[in-house]
Chains A and B, each alone.
Chain A
Amino acid sequence: MPSFVPTSADTLEDQRLYTSARLVEVACLDCLARVGVKKNSEHHTSIQWTAEARGHCPELNRRTGGRDFQPACRRLVASIEAAARDGQVPIGAEDGY
């Protein structure tokens, strides 16, 4: 069976919950990037960038594409860890999101 477009309004609410609920803004300690962060546990991390934030990251902008394009920026990762330690990012999930 094929699939794609939601046929229920509840699905739109699910999309919102899973993609944007609980995102907390975290500023990078080394550049002007500000990203949305969610942590369901100490080890789980979700990072939502915007085009504006992406434009600020010198580390990612240095990458040339192909295979080395995707790995995380270590400075941002360190900034998120610091924010989590400071209690700025709550740790723990709601109902699976």
Chain B
Amino acid sequence: MESSTRMLDHGTPPERFARGWHCLGLADSFRDGTPHRVEAFGGQLVVWEDTQGNLNVLDGYCRHMGGDLTQGTVKGDEIACPFHDWRWGGDGKCKQIPYARRVPLRARTQRYPVVIRNDQLLVWHDVEGSEPDLEILPPVLPGLDEGLYTPWTWEVVPITDSHCRELIDNVVDMAHFYYVHFSFPTSFRNVFEGTVATQYMESKGRPDKAGGYGSPDLFLKSEATYFGPAYMINWLEVDYKGFETEVVLINCHIPTGPDSFTLQYGITVKKPEGIDDDTAAYISKKYAKMFGEGFLQDVHIWKNKVPVQNPLLCEEDGPVYQLRRWYEQFYVDRADVQPEMVDRFEFEVDTTKANEYWQEEVAENLRLRAEQEASGEAPEGADDAENPQIMSGT
């Protein structure tokens, strides 16, 4: 082999799961008096609501003989193991062993500190066992509690054969929005600082892949911010033929194993004035479907690609290395976080050349389609009607 041949460095997997806040789902979905199982951090968690209305999260296996607490029963404020009825409290302590004279002093299990934020249940995870850092929680969405937004639509998608960093990489990946999600990114910027990483993007739909929301009349202004390693808020201003909608997309995930994670995404739409709640909820569902399909487009790529630690970049690519440097802070001990991982970094991609080329390509596709239609053949891309034309953040 020639020495100038570029080799892919697949790297080795990280030996831990990221430090930070992770969203387990909509808080209300856990409030039914039964224990819930959430696969997370290489194992499983048990989630239940106590009589005070608090949500509690513990490691899913009983410290006595390893019984599966998610198959247990909520008794009073505690979760009772199905194996021998040991009762565990939300503080991680065993409160009662009904058949025993006393509870061993060492009967403490792993508990996960929780916060309810924007109607969602967030847990703090840190292999070093630190206190939860409330300073770096995702912000409260204004107007949500005041009823200005539609109820969340919420989807859960298990992803196998991919490390969750593949999802993170999309924050800087300008060109994939054209190829994978069929939109033109016309403006693309990134800012990373501390535990926060943002993508600012303006884009419009590709007319050659039209259908659904796809249209040259569709413009999108997107601001997508990761607050920590696993929770993104994506503020979207959608302009379709002059009709503006404000959409908030939550894109979050829970790592489940060394090459698997659970993707969750939620959508809420600011209720447009003069539109009734049912119609607003319908619009919200439409967007949820569109973004759901967008994620599946990503998943197909992830499942078939190989990991690459040494991406080869061109001038039109985003700052992959800087983003990964930022992301690495969540995988090292607090004491080992380096200044360059958290120092502010700003980047603006020049999309001029890319858009010149893409406009030509799309024009050619439209010309070919018109030709085919004129000759009576089924136009290529007619089955693209289901494809979402706008995608952002990921």
Residues in A lying within 8 Å of B, measured CB to CB: 1-8, 10-11, 14-15, 18-19, 40-51, 54, 60, 65-67, 69-72, 93, 96-97
Contacts and interface: CB of A to CB of B under 8 A. Distances in A.
Contacts of A51: 339, 343
Given A2-B258, A11-B9, A70 B345 contact: no
A19 B325 contact: yes
Contacts of A71: 191
Interface string B324-344: 010000010000000110011
B259 A14 contact: no
A10 B14 contact: no
A70 to B, nearest CB: 4
Contacts of B331: 4
Contacts of B315: 40-41, 44, 93, 96
A3 B308 contact: yes
B7 A8 contact: yes
B65 interface: no
Given A1-B259, A5-B309, A47 B347 contact: yes
A2 B7 contact: no
A16 to B, nearest CB: 9
A44 B347 CA distance: 8
Given A4-B309, A44-B315, A44-B350, A14 B343 contact: no
A19 B322 contact: yes
B89 interface: no
Interface string B187-229: 0000101001010000000000000000000000001010000
Q: DSSP majority for the B interface? A: loop
A5 B307 CA distance: 11
B163 A48 contact: no
Given A1-B307, A3-B308, A6-B309, A46 B11 contact: no
Contacts of A4: 11-14, 163, 165, 309, 331
Contacts, number: 131
B191 A48 contact: no
B196 A70 contact: yes
Interface string B276-319: 00000000000000000000000000000011111011110101
B345 A14 contact: no
B11 A18 contact: no
Interface in B330-373: 331, 339-340, 343-352
Nearest to B259: A2
B352 A43 contact: yes
A72 B312 CA distance: 27
B376 interface: no
Given A15-B321, A18-B313, A93-B315, A67 B139 contact: yes
Contacts of A46: 319, 345-348
A11 B310 contact: yes
B10 interface: yes
Given A45-B347, A93-B315, A1 B196 contact: no
A67 B312 contact: no
Nearest to A45: B348
- Among A6, A14, A18, A96, max chain B CB count under 10 A is at A18
B235 interface: yes
Contact of A47 (B7, B314, B345, B349): B345
- Among B7, B191, B321, max chain A CB count under 10 A is at B321
B161 interface: yes
A42 B348 CA distance: 11
Contacts of B193: 49, 54, 69-70
A54 B317 CA distance: 26
A24 to B, nearest CB: 15
B313 A97 contact: yes
Contact of B14 (A5, A69, A97): A5
B359 to A, nearest CB: 17
- Among B165, B314, B315, B322, max chain A CB count under 10 A is at B315
A54 B343 contact: yes
A67 B225 contact: yes
Interface in B152-192: 161, 163, 165, 191
B329 to A, nearest CB: 13
